A = this chain, B = another copy of it.
Amino acid sequence: MRVLVVGAGGVGSAAAGIACRRDFFTRLVVADYDLARATRVIDTVGDERFVAAQIDASNAEAVAALCRAHDITHVLNAVDPRFVMPVFEGARAAGADYLDMAMSLSHPHPDDPFQRTGVKLGDEQFAAAPAWAAAGRLALVGIGVEPGLSDIFARYAADHLFSRIDEVGIRDGGNLEVAGYEFAPSFSVWTTIEECLNPPVIYEKGRGWFTTEPLSEPEIFDFPGGIGPVECVHVEHEEVLLIPRWVDAGRVTFKYGLGREFIEVLRTLHKLGLDRTEPVQVGAARVSPRDVVAAVLPDPATLGDKMTGKTCAGTVVRGLGKDFKPREVYLYHLVDNDWSMREYGAQAVVWQTAVNPVIALELLASGKWHGTGVLGPEAFDPQPFLDKLVEYGSPWEMREQ
């Protein structure tokens, strides 16, 4: 297996740091728009199988050319979701398989954005599914932690725990704190604004996909591992689009444990128009308000050693158990920032995202996972994946509710 990782940011560099301990590949190219950033990753890894390259991820032909230059068999997309489509198309043009951790972007319904879907997350990718299948190639989309591991939990529940699933609800939360800052998000604030202020999507059997108000239906979810209760709200996320395609479920939702404080910050930014991306005139300068918000906050990739606490990703499944009695479980995965910093030098959220595509690549390399077309993580047998997670030193858990 010869892998191209596009993007040497937090997740791309953590994936390199995880992969270098495994032997399922012979070549791993880390490419970034900024060659120096890619080179720093290679220098840190210190593994002869790794090389650095420069790439413009917005250009599908450049992606294809780099694949051909290195005889790439698998492209792992680790850049901003704005670049999903050119990387996806470049991989297919070069005859490589493709993996990503976020799907092609949505566009709200033009007239009725908070009730009806417009262009949904991943729609552009699924439109290309016949072409991928015809070419005998695989695009495994949404194989981070959420989407990714959360989808695998849903499939595991369907295969091994339930006879009927009434609801699958992804619940993500943590108690990460950053010392020395009054407010410091642990993930890209630009992306967090994007996903949290888009109309959230919900799936119901018989009704299909529909949308609701951003940050709506707050609920307090009690997270395990000492995290405790966190306020969660509806957020647009890929699982809602992926799970119903392969798992028979009455309803699928995603709620993000932003906590009261972050929710208020997002509401305020939106109310003032500071979430907007269109530039405004400020004196002689023209700037995007959302870029100004990102500029005044600390860069989350640099905060790992100031962070403490845990992050939890997981899936609530409710329905009838194999014994046809009502059952509800929470399948989850915890990462303690102290552990991920000590073991991998990566902060918890970034590490928890990056480990999953590395495991998927290893399963594809071994042939335990295989397929063609555009598939989600829940299209595959969950057991070998969950076993690998334990083998990688980061076990998953389950709570009966």
- A positions within 8 Å CB-CB of B: 182-183, 264-265, 268-269, 271-274, 276, 280-283, 285-289, 291-293, 295-297
Contacts and interface: CB of A to CB of B under 8 A. Distances in A.
List of 5 A-B pairs having minimum Cβ-Cβ separation, nearest first: A285-B285, A273-B296, A268-B268, A183-B271, A282-B295
A379 B287 CA distance: 48
B271 A182 contact: yes
Given A264-B264, A271-B182, A291 B296 contact: no
Contacts of A271: 182-183, 265
Contacts of A287: 282-283, 285, 287, 292
Nearest to A276: B296
Contacts of A276: 296
Contacts of A272: 183, 265, 293, 296-297
Nearest to A266: B268
A282 to B, nearest CB: 5
17 contacts: A182-B271, A183-B272, A268-B268, A272-B296, A272-B297, A273-B297, A274-B274, A274-B296, A276-B296, A280-B296, A282-B285, A282-B288, A282-B292, A285-B286, A285-B287, A289-B292, A289-B296
Contacts of A182: 271
Given A182-B271, A274-B292, A283-B291, 9 more contacts: A264-B264, A265-B271, A268-B269, A272-B296, A282-B291, A285-B285, A285-B286, A287-B287, A292-B292
A197 to B, nearest CB: 13
A200 to B, nearest CB: 19
Nearest to A296: B273
A297 to B, nearest CB: 6
A293 B280 CA distance: 10
A292 B275 CA distance: 12
